[in-house]
Amino acid sequence: MEFFTLNDGNKIPAVGFGTFQIPADGSTYKAVKKALELGIRHIDTAAAYFNEAEVGQAVKDSGIKRDDVWITSKLWLQDYKYAEAQKGIDISLKKLGTDYVDMYLLHQPYGEVTEAWGALEDAKKAGKIRSIGVSNMTPKLWQQYVSQFSTMPAVNQVEFNPFFQQKELRELLAPHDVKIEAWAPLGQGNSSLLTHPEIVKLAAKYGKDAGQVILRFEYQEGIITFPKSIHESRIKSNKEIFDFALMEAEMDVLRALDTNQGIHDPDRPGVKEMLLGAFDVHAND
């Protein structure tokens, strides 16, 4: 596995495993356990995924040393007030069954963002979190909030794939060495992406599948990815992207696929209100 070095000095596995929308009915446990068996060492979860406990149990039962597995989780909006954020972090740690989490993010950029960020900063100082970051921040939201932060986020986890390459955002983050983490790195199974002629051509050339070409492109662009799958063959293939490299001309071809259009627009009117009242992450605590 290859690593990226974050702006706080911590090294994060370049490819991980996402658990969004995997149910907490044993499915998350099985998928994470299998991912770890196959060599994945980076697991991404969130309070709002309702599966932190299964992630934590799978890591524990894997027999792999805790320090060798990178775990990311995220704070939900209802816990953004400072005191609630402190409690939310502790609840995540309890569910994950660990004394610390490798990375903790603000899941959405709305509400009491600066209070929540202060709680993450203090939890990092206390050793409960190694790296802190944000998620779903557009250039507009980044400029609105990050100027108020005492420390720079290590990552911004946003939608990213060859059809939506976040070029404006990347230009904004680059001077601060803030890494982008890609959710939907394969376009959430977008068939027009996975069957695009340029991608299919490169897959044939290198003896890879379309998903591997896309993930390799993202790796070479400096993007951290954590594709999600419950299928063993796909989990395995998603990490097998380090035995080939795309040429610069091929990278340019894939860069040209950018449409600057994603499936989620955090700036769209109504999104903030919808997410603020979406659900109660502590309903079953």
Q: Which residues are catalytic?
A: 49
Q: Quick one: DSSP state of residue 101? A: E
Tokens read off for 129: 């979190």
Residue 120 near residue 128 (C-beta atoms within 8 A):
no
What type of residue is 159? E
Tokens read off for 246: 């795309």
In sequence order, the 6+-apart residues with CB closer than 8 A to the CB of 142 are 134, 156, 169, 172, 173
Q: Quick one: DSSP state of residue 161? A: B
What type of residue is 173? L
Residue 158 near residue 182 (C-beta atoms within 8 A):
yes
What type of residue is 209? D
Strands (E), the chain: 3-5, 11-13, 17-18, 42-44, 70-75, 101-106, 129-135, 155-159, 179-183, 224-225
Residue 208 near residue 238 (C-beta atoms within 8 A):
no
Residue 72 near residue 104 (C-beta atoms within 8 A):
yes
* Nearest CA-CA partner of 161 in 175, 142, 137, 180: 180
Q: Where are the alpha helices (DSSP H) in 38-105?
A: 52-62, 82-96
Tokens read off for 249: 């001309």
Tokens read off for 201: 């051509």
